[in-house]
């Protein structure tokens, strides 16, 4: 499984970065190979200042070593293992975040990961996690519905119960508690998956990560060159500030990576190139900006929505 997962995420990285370069037309990914002193390494690819994308990052890692007690307590998966269980681990994953220039084109994040404690032979000592979510600055219902529907189809191919469960999990996870709002309009999120065979779950996470392009690219093709105002660009910068707040304060992957001595540049690759914080900013009542906030405060069941409409 270690080999199969490692090969899958490297092939997915190739496919994803090729598609994004073609979509951008100008930008090219800069690639770094890195090694971790404790064991393993990875391959980070970052595109900056492209025609469509201000910043796009896609990294893979295959690392191993020994977890600190603090890191064991911090991680989301593998709960229920005895306190004296070996802290040696193996982890492999792919993570990607795409930040477009245009405020009408949404940011998108996705990742999948596989984790083992010990040699992975004990029930409960291995698990999968991951997900994909959309973070728009301006709300276009048809775009969000398309994104969710594509992820639902990937879930249904594995288990029709997945989408409903993982959609709610996503809404609950990407919650900025100190703002009382979600980071975006959701998608799916899952962790500690071990209720099927590793082969079955590998097939699911592979299908999910390869669903990113059909879920996201049509939206960028539609919105990437849309006209926008300075006010709309400013709002995008403020929303990116919220993105940074979630990632640095609440995201388990970021916290875990920093606490286990991960490569800082790769861990913080997800942050936007630019962001803004304005003191006590509130959008005008009835504005498109306020319409987005309403959804961030009260998540919507996108696949049961009324006829799509643009806000």
The C-alpha torsion from 191 through 196 and 198 to 201, rounded to 10°, is: -60
How would you classify the pairing of strands 186-193 and 126-135? antiparallel
d(C-alpha 8, C-alpha 19), whole Å: 17
Does residue 53 come out as left (phi exceeding 0), alpha (psi in the -120 to 50 range) or beta?
beta
Answer yes or no: 109 catalytic: yes
Percent of the chain as helix, strand, coil, to the nearest 5: 40, 25, 35
Instruction: Return the SS3 of 139.
Output: coil
Set 109, 146, 148, 281: catalytic member: 109
Does residue 267 come out as left (phi exceeding 0), alpha (psi in the -120 to 50 range) or beta?
alpha
Instruction: Tell me which DSSP letter residue 307 carries.
Output: S
Residues tagged active-site: 109
């Amino acid at each position: 499984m270690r080999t199969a997962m490692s090969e899958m995420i490297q092939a997915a990285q190739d496919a994803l970065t090729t598609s994004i370069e073609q979509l951008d037309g100008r930008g090219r990914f800069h690639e770094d190979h890195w090694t971790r002193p404790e064991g393993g390494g990875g391959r980070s690819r970052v595109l900056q200042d492209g025609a469509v994308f201000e910043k796009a990052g896609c990294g893979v890692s295959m690392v191993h070593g020994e977890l600190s007690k603090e890191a064991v307590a911090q991680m989301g998966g593998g709960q229920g293992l005895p306190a004296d269980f070996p802290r040696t681990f193996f982890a492999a994953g792919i993570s990607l975040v795409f930040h477009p220039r245009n405020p009408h084109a949404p940011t998108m994040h996705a990742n999948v990961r596989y984790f083992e404690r010990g040699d992975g032979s004990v029930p409960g000592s291995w698990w999968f996690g991951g997900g994909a979510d959309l973070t728009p600055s301006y709300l276009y219902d048809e775009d969000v519905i398309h994104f969710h529907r594509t992820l639902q189809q990937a879930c249904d191919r594995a288990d029709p119960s997945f989408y409903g469960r993982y959609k709610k999990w996503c809404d609950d996870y990407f919650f900025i508690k100190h703002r009382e709002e979600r980071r975006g309009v959701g998608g799916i999120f899952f962790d500690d998956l071990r209720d099927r065979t590793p082969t079955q779950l590998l097939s699911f996470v592979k299908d999910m990560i390869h669903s990113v392009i059909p879920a996201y690219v049509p939206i960028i093709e539609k919105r990437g060159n849309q006209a926008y105002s300075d006010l709309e660009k400013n709002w995008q910068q403020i929303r990116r500030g919220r993105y940074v707040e979630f990632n640095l304060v609440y995201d388990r992957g970021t916290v875990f990576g920093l606490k286990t001595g991960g490569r800082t540049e790769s861990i913080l690759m997800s942050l936007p190139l630019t962001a803004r914080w304005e003191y006590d900013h509130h959008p005008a009542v009835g504005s498109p900006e306020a319409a987005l906030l309403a959804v961030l405060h009260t998540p919507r069941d996108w696949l049961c929505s009324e006829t799509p409409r643009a806000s």
